[in-house]
């Protein structure tokens, strides 16, 4: 007669298998997730009770606490953060496995088979844990997202692997201390996981997450072999490991990658490698040809009969999936056939775009995979790219020596008209310039994706005038309202000085930075080396309020770019921006390198008053036509500016 515990085990296994079966379709995936969760709850309760580890009261208390934490996380974690959460969960699975295996080893009296499976569980679990932490850190921006290559990178991997093999053999044949071997396995499995994952970047990150997901299942399955009652863990771990490996292979095929190349780092650029080449010069005459006569892109969009919308990670960052859905529905109401092109690695995890579009109830049947959307694009009137870059970059089929060469892409270039709703024209995650942007039939709508999509919605409705392809700076003198200047600006540079430190206005500077960034503007902070009363004074103040280091630019980095800046906002700086340093011989600051803010299109100065700075030299910038001077306490002035910008929308 079957014991109740065995019956529960079989039932839980059935729930896991059925749950994964339901996850084959987006329509049943939510139910499948719930079925799997019920199976996991049953497995936990059964295991704890069978092993007499905990009483029923403690089990229920633990379940309540765990459920509360899970509900809180589901509400607190934004959809944009889901990839790093998935990576973190993979790591927790690996950590649980190596902890179980380590405790099993320390119990002693084990057979050679149990010693081997315990060692293997520690290795796979440790690699999974450290690798998943690195992946989560990269995705969350805590670690550098670009591939990191250590000197002798593969040597670290080979040495770590060799030590782990020798320690495993030492355990199996009971040579040396069990504790020492367990410690070596723990340390070098984590080293291996870190070194393996740190050089992954670009399109390979989703593949790596799939592989780590498989590792977490394998680690659990192997750990189950080391336990006397680990049958359930073996089966469940095998299911997770197999499904993760299948997904990894699917991703590799979709990306035209070989798994071994990813493991050995052959798909990422090595340090010192030549930069990615630009588009071939032979194609330039095509770009210089006279523009064909015909309807404008606005008219093409309004009259389009076949439209492909291609979402990418930029859509996720802007949280613009609702606007994408609204645009699709509006075009369909005007008789257009709309399809959404989903690249297998668009985003930061497999299925990222599917999840975001499902979140706003975009019908599943309208989501097309790579082959289907490319066939659709061959006869499409308009392709609308929303925050996608590498996955639509023709360099993948044109430029052999680039990191994305050979990667299958969505052929947006096949459509008659292409609209690009990206934040800017900078290269994507792989660092390759997008040659699509240079095509004559491509129109760029740069800035926050929400704003660009709102513009398209108005155009389709006929409520907006056509948007010029490249708006130029007005010839007339700029408006004197700081909020109006900033609202119309695309690029803003903030220059902090000692007056900001005196007013303790760094918090208001951060608020201004975040508000401008949320409006889709490029914001940077120019730091003069002697702004303040000690080297690095401004850097410290900016770091104090958690302004990202990458926004801080030194004088040599920014000075030649000021002519391209729409608005400079000066906060309590004087001598370090005074043009007299270049023009007034005989003054104390003549010849001193200064920030060339005078060359910007507009300058807004928030200083206490017009008095000369520390050097006692009148600032000639204050009286120039393109300068707006706002006297008063810097903190109060910036607070008023932030409020004015919020009211202006």
CA dist 448 and 132 (Å) reads 31
Kindly list the distances between the CA atom of residue 352 and the CA atoms of 63, 79, 358, 619, in Å, as whole numbers in the listed order.
Answer: 29, 9, 10, 53
DSSP per position, 474-536? PSSPPPS-HHHHHHH-SEEEEEE-HHHHHHT-HHHHHHHHHHHHHTT-EEEEEE-TTSSSSTT
Task: Give the residue-averaged pLDDT of 7-29.
Answer: 83
Q: Which helix (H) or strand (E) holds 442?
A: strand 442-444
- For 383, phi then psi, to 5°, come to -115, 130
DSSP state, 462? T
Kindly state the average pLDDT of the residues 210-234: 86
Give the whole-angstrom CA distance, residue 516 versus residue 364. 35
Q: Which of 122, 84, 74, 404 is nearest to 269 (CA)?
A: 404
Asked if residue 631 lies in contact with residue 503, where contact means CB atoms within 8 angstroms, the answer is: no
pLDDT in tens, 80-114: 677 778 888 889 999 999 999 998 888 877 889 99
Would you say how long the chain is, in residues?
649
Q: Which of 34, 38, 32, 37 is nearest to 19 (CA)?
A: 32
Please tell me the pTM assigned to this model: 0.56
Among 366, 351, 360, which Cα is nearest to 306's?
366
537: its two tokens: 């004074």
Whether 203 shows a pLDDT value over 70: the answer reads no
Give percent of the chain above pLDDT 90.
30
Of residues 208 and 305, the one with the higher pLDDT is 305
What angle do helix axes 26-50 and 56-76 make, rounded to 10 degrees? Answer: 150
Check 261, 361, 372, 390 and give the catalytic one.
390
Rounded CA-CA distance 102/476 in Å is 74
Q: Which residues are CB-neighbours of 52 under 8 A, at least 6 positions away? A: none
Two tokens, residue 603:
């300058």
390 as an active site residue: the answer is: yes
Looking at per-residue confidence, does 418 or 611 come out higher?
Answer: 418
pLDDT of residue 213: 87
Q: Which residues neighbour 621 within 8 Å (Cβ) at sequence distance 6 or greater?
A: 577, 578, 579, 597, 598, 603, 605, 627
What pLDDT, on the 0 to 100 scale, is given for residue 265?
A: 63
Phi, psi of 191 (to 5 degrees): -60, -45
Rg of the chain on CA atoms, in Å:
29
- Give the pLDDT confidence score for residue 400 in this predicted structure: 79
Burial 102-116 (b: 16+ CB within 10 A, else e): bebbeeeebeeebbb
pLDDT at 532: 67
CA distance linking residue 507 with residue 513, whole number of Å: 10
603-623 average pLDDT score: 85
pLDDT in tens, 537-579: 788 788 888 888 889 998 889 999 999 999 999 999 998 899 9
Share of the chain above pLDDT 70, in %: 86
547 vs 138, 302, 378, 462, CA distance in Å? 19, 42, 45, 41
Those residues whose C-beta lies under 8 Å from the C-beta of residue 69, and which sit 6 or more positions away, are: none
Helix, strand, coil shares of the chain, percent, nearest 5, are 55, 10, 35
Distance CA 443, CA 421 (A): 9
The 10s digit of each residue's pLDDT in 462-507 is 754 444 444 433 333 344 789 999 999 999 999 998 888 888 888 8
Tokens found for residue 287: 């770009």
pLDDT per position as a tens digit, 243-287: 888 878 876 766 666 777 766 666 554 444 444 444 443 343 334
Residue 535 is predicted with a pLDDT of 61
> What pLDDT is recorded for position 294?
60
Average of per-residue pLDDT across 151-169: 92
Compute the distance between CA of residue 483 and CA of residue 480 in angstroms, rounded to an integer: 9
Residue 370 has pLDDT above 80, yes or no: yes
For residue 311, give both structure tokens. Answer: 């979402």
Is-contact 497 531, C-beta < 8 A? yes
């Amino acid at each position: 007669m079957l014991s109740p515990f065995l019956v529960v085990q079989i039932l839980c296994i059935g729930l896991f298998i059925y749950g994964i079966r339901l996850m084959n379709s987006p329509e049943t995936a939510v139910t499948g997730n719930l079925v799997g969760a019920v199976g996991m709850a049953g497995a936990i309760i059964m295991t704890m009770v069978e092993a007499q580890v905990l009483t029923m009261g403690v089990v229920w208390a633990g379940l309540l606490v765990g459920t509360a934490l899970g509900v809180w996380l589901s509400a607190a974690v934004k959809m944009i953060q889901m990839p790093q959460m998935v990576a973190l969960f993979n790591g927790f699975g690996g950590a649980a496995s190596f902890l179980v295996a380590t405790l099993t080893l320390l119990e002693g009296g084990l057979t050679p088979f149990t010693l081997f499976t315990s060692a293997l569980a520690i290795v796979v679990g440790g690699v999974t844990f450290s690798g998943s932490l690195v992946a989560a850190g990269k995705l969350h921006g805590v670690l550098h997202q670009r591939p990191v290559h250590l000197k002798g990178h593969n040597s670290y991997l080979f040495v770590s692997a060799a030590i782990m093999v020798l320690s495993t053999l030492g355990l199996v044949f009971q040579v040396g201390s069990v504790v020492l071997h367990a410690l070596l396995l723990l340390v070098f499995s984590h080293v291996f996981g870190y070194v393996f994952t740190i050089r992954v970047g670009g399109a390979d990150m989703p593949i790596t997450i799939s592989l780590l997901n498989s590792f977490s299942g394998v680690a659990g399955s192997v750990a189950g072999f080391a336990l006397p009652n680990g049958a359930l863990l073996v089966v469940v771990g095998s299911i997770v490991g197999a499904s993760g490996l299948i997904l990894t292979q699917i991703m590799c095929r979709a990306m035209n990658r070989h798994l071994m190349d990813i493991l050995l780092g052959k798909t990422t650029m090595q340090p010192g490698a030549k930069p990615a080449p630009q588009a071939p010069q032979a194609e330039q005459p095509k770009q210089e040809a006279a523009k064909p006569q015909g309807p404008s892109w606005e008219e093409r969009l309004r009259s389009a009969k076949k439209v492909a919308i291609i979402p990418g990670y930029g859509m996720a960052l802007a949280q613009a999936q609702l606007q994408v859905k609204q645009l699709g529905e509006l075009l369909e109401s005007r008789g257009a056939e709309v399809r959404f092109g989903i690249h297998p690695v668009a985003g930061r995890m497999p299925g990222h775009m599917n999840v975001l579009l499902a979140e706003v109830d975009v019908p599943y049947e309208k989501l097309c995979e790579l082959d289907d959307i490319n066939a659709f694009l061959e006869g499409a009137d308009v392709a609308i790219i929303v925050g996608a870059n590498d996955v639509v970059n023709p360099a993948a089929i044109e430029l052999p020596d680039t990191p994305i060469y050979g990667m299958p892409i969505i052929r947006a270039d096949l459509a008659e008209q292409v609209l690009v709703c990206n934040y800017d024209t900078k290269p994507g995650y792989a660092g390759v310039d997008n040659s699509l942007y240079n095509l004559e039939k491509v129109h760029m709508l740069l800035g926050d994706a929400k704003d660009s999509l709102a513009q398209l919605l108005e155009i389709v409705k006929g409520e907006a005038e056509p948007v010029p392809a490249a708006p130029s700076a007005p010839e007339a003198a700029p408006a004197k309202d700081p909020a109006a200047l900033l609202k119309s600006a695309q690029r803003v540079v903030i220059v902090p000085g000692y007056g900001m430190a005196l007013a303790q206005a760094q918090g208001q500077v951060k608020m201004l930075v975040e508000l401008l960034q949320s409006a889709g503007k490029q914001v940077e902070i120019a730091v003069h080396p002697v702004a303040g009363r000690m080297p690095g004074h401004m850097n410290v103040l900016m770091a104090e309020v958690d302004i990202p280091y990458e926004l801080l630019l030194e004088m040599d980095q920014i000075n030649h770019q000021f002519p391209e800046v729409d608005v400079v906002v000066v906060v309590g700086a004087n001598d370090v921006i005074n043009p007299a340093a270049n023009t007034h011989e005989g003054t104390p600051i003549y010849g001193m390198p200064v920030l060339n803010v005078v060359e910007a299109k507009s300058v807004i100065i928030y200083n206490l008053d017009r008095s000369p700075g520390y050097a006692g030299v009148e600032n000639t910038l204050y009286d120039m036509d393109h300068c707006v001077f706002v006297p008063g306490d810097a903190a109060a002035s910036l607070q008023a500016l932030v409020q004015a910008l919020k009211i202006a929308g």
